[in-house]
Amino acid sequence: MHMFRPLALALMVLFPGAALSESSGSGFFVNRNWVLTNDHVVEDCARIEVVGYGRARGIQRDRESDLAVIRLLQPFEGDALPFRDQRPRLAESVHALGYPLADVLSSSVRVTSGSVSAMDGFDRDDGLIQISAPIQPGNSGGPVIDDTGAVLGVAVGILNRSGAQNVNFAISGALARAFLDRNSIGYADASATADPEPLPDVIERVAAATVQVRCLGGSLPPVIDDAPSGLVMFHNRDVIGFDYRFMRNMSVASCQASCEADRQCRAFTFNTRHNACFLKEGGTVLVTNADAISGVTP
């Protein structure tokens, strides 16, 4: 597990006597009937829907690589996205497409651009590539492409560390292809001799194959008894908010106490794997993180 924040967008939907969740991420067609996304986008879902294509009719998942493929009955009539065989190069231009912050922004696909910053990820993980193209909650599972529209990676998260700016990660295309091969899912290889296209035309073509993935009807994680301060605690959830203070080598109790003692603190996330505490000025969105315990002021 990496110290980065996965970027599925999770919303709490509260009803009398019940707490249900709805979350969303992104994905893209690798062939007419299969959509590739992140495993954390479809984790703990009672029902999975791909906007415009209906309910998932099958799914293959791999938690270790954080990848999943969704089978749909309604076929995609456009061009599925091909994978590039060549490794990305440092400073190469990249573009990330997806449906970030779908509860705040419009429901249309969005694109950000940047470059390849590093050929590995956190702790020298060569299954990740670091990119400068900004990604946000809801981008998880979306394609990261080169200037020709070939897939270089799958957007997965950002570095969750105080002081880190614009440190974004994608699962490498090689790891994604290996996952598809293991599950006997067909995909196309990008042609090395394709005629060049204007970038807006490339983005338009890729956008057509990029979809929003919705996770519906799952229960929120059990709520721990409220702390004396009134913090509502959640297991396996990370709070999206502005991190104004970061502390290492702490217990969850010390992290909680630090938040309770600080009037600026409205929420905290404790990373159980790294014993790291993040105090936040606010936080209304929870995302799945198996290594996190969070507290939020009601």
pLDDT band at 288 (very low <50, low <70, confident <90, very high): confident
Distance CA 143, CA 135 (A): 11
pLDDT reported for residue 20: 47
How many residues in total does the chain contain?
A: 298
244 in Cβ contact with 280 (< 8 Å):
yes
pLDDT range class, residue 23, cuts 50, 70, 90: confident
Identify the three-state secondary structure at position 135: coil
In this predicted structure, the answer to whether residue 222 has a pLDDT above a threshold of 50 is: no
**Cα separation of 56 and 68, whole Å?**
12
Show the tokens assigned to 56.
């998932």
CATH entry, 1-220, from 2.70.98.60, 2.130.10.10, 2.40.10.120, 2.30.40.10: 2.40.10.120
221-296 has the same fold as 1-220? no
Domain borders along the chain are 1-220, 221-296
The mean predicted confidence, pLDDT, of the chain is: 85
* CA atoms of 97 and 207, how far apart (whole Å): 7
Round to whole Å and give the CA distance between 283 and 136: 15
* Token pair of 261 as six digits: 């003692």
Domain 221-296 is in which class? alpha beta
Number of Cβ within a 10 Å radius of residue 201:
11
* pLDDT of 254 over the 90 cut: no
Percent of the chain predicted with pLDDT > 90: 53
pTM of model > 0.75:
no
CB 38 within 8 A of CB 156: yes
Distance CA 94, CA 112 (A): 9
- Beta bridge mates, 271: 276, 292
62/7: higher pLDDT: 62
Stretch 181-207: mean pLDDT, rounded?
93
Q: Where are the alpha helices (DSSP H) in the chain?
A: 173-182, 199-208, 252-261
Written as six digits, the tokens of 113 are 């651009």
Say if residue 182's pLDDT is above 50. Answer: yes
pLDDT, residue 19, reads 44
Q: What is the pLDDT of residues 33-48, one digit of tens each?
A: 999 999 999 988 889 9
Q: What is the mean pLDDT of residues 153-160?
A: 86
Which structure tokens are listed for 175? Answer: 């790891």
DSSP state of 122: G
Least confident of 17-26, 176-185, 220-229: 220-229
pLDDT at 152: 98
Looking at residue 84, its pLDDT comes to 96
Calpha distance 109→100 (Å, rounded): 8
Residue 10 in this model has a pLDDT that exceeds 80: no
Task: Please write the tens of the pLDDT for every residue from 74-98.
Answer: 999 999 999 999 999 999 999 999 9
Quick one: DSSP state of residue 82?
Answer: P
pLDDT at residue 162 is higher than 80: no
Position with higher pLDDT, 297 vs 142: 142
